[in-house]
Amino acid sequence: MYRTSTQEHVGDDRPAPLLSVVVPIFNEEEALPLTVQRLRPILDGLDVEYEVVGVDDGSTDATPQLMVALRREWPQLRIIRFRRNSGHQAALTAGLHNAFGEYVVSIDADLQDPPEKIPEMLKLARDGGCDIVYGVRSDRSTDAFFKRSTAAAYYWLMRRLVGKKMPSHAGDFRLLSRAAVDALKSLPENQPVYRLLVPWLGFTSATVYYEREERVAGTTKYPLSKMIRLGLDSVTNFSASPLRLATWLGMASFVVCLVLAVYTTFRYCLNDTVPGWSSLFIGMLFLGGVQLICLGLLGEYVGRIYSAVQSRPSYFIGYDSADTATEAPAGAGK
């Protein structure tokens, strides 16, 4: 058990590790052994105290047992297990909130982000004194066309919402200093989207470029439904402009209606009226559509206000190998 400068005293007096590596893991039985194989020599070679916080996001395959077995060989691997799948960002939250390190790196479990960049990130942060080091994908040619184009649209939109300080194609591979982690922890966010929140904090930052590799094994754990959810969370977390869009749409339709009303009166005065079924029908459809869009947008925000008011935690930790208070599953050594 460690203790950090800002965390409560939770056990003995060992100093906090310099580095925590947070890895969100969901059904990664194929990729995990390969990831550990590549990650461990790099971290051992750093010659500093470190911990790897593996956050098992409610995996339903052999991942939990695999992690317990891996931990026996690698004591620096800490296991945090969720009771159920709560999503990538929730897993990141748990990792960040529970990491003990003075620097915290988050990295995917599928080796798409090269762990070889971690020493470079740490060096930049320690020598340059910056609080955040972004991993930016310089080349996404290994991603499928669909992923590439949706990612391009996502970053285009987000840069317009969050501002130019958000680096394009910086995903969740990044290093944060203890100060940045504590700042994130102090935010009351219910559904945090870290790739937007981190640049928004305004800490000094540096960038490391890397080529996005192919997923080492298994399939993506981000189906379209989760991508849409991340997109909606990102937009509504950071901007009320969709609500404003509803106002603009309403105004535009009002102007169109005004023009149509003048036109209709003009035709009426000329005694040139036709049954008018089509114009009525189109008008009705148009207004109905606009109203539904606006209602939907309002609903998105109301739904989020509702869940913020409920303020339910975004995850439940079933087991933490670093916390003696949680129950160890059968076969998990402390």
Could you list the residues that contact ligand UDP (CB under 6 A)? 24-26, 28, 57, 85, 87-88, 91, 108-110, 112, 220-222
User: What does 307 bind: Mg ion, ligand UDP, none (CB cut-off 5 to 8 Å by kind)?
Assistant: none
**Judged by CB under 5 A, which stretch of 107-115, 144-152, 236-244, 321-329 contacts Mg ion?**
107-115
What is 35-93 written as a DSSP string?
A: HHHHHHHHHHHTTS-EEEEEEE-S--SSHHHHHHHHHHH-TTEEEEEESS---HHHHHH
Q: Minimal distance in Å, beta carbon 130 to ligand UDP?
A: 25
Residue type, 25: I
* Number of Cα atoms under 13 Å in the Cβ half of residue 259: 7
Strand order in the sheet with 205-211: 205-211, 132-139, 170-177, 103-106, 19-25, 50-56, 77-82, 317-320
Give the nearer residue to Mg ion in terms of CB position, either 24 or 101.
24
Residue 146 has which token pair? 């669909």
Q: Minimal distance in Å, beta carbon 112 to ligand UDP?
A: 5
**Judged by CB under 5 A, which stretch of 29-37, 109-117, 148-156, 259-267 contacts Mg ion?**
109-117
Based on the shown chain and the rule CB under 5 A, indicate whether residue 143 belongs to the binding site for Mg ion.
no
241-269 and 277-310 helices, crossing angle to 10° = 160
Strands 317-320 and 77-82: antiparallel
145-162 and 224-238 helices, crossing angle to 10° = 10
Give the nearer residue to ligand UDP in terms of CB position, either 7 or 142.
142
**Judged by CB under 5 A, which stretch of 47-55, 86-94, 112-120, 263-271 contacts Mg ion?**
112-120
Give the nearer residue to ligand UDP in terms of CB position, either 32 or 124.
32
Give the nearer residue to ligand UDP in terms of CB position, either 110 or 320.
110
Q: Minimal distance in Å, beta carbon 199 to Mg ion?
A: 21
Residues that bind Mg ion (CB under 5 A): 108, 110, 112
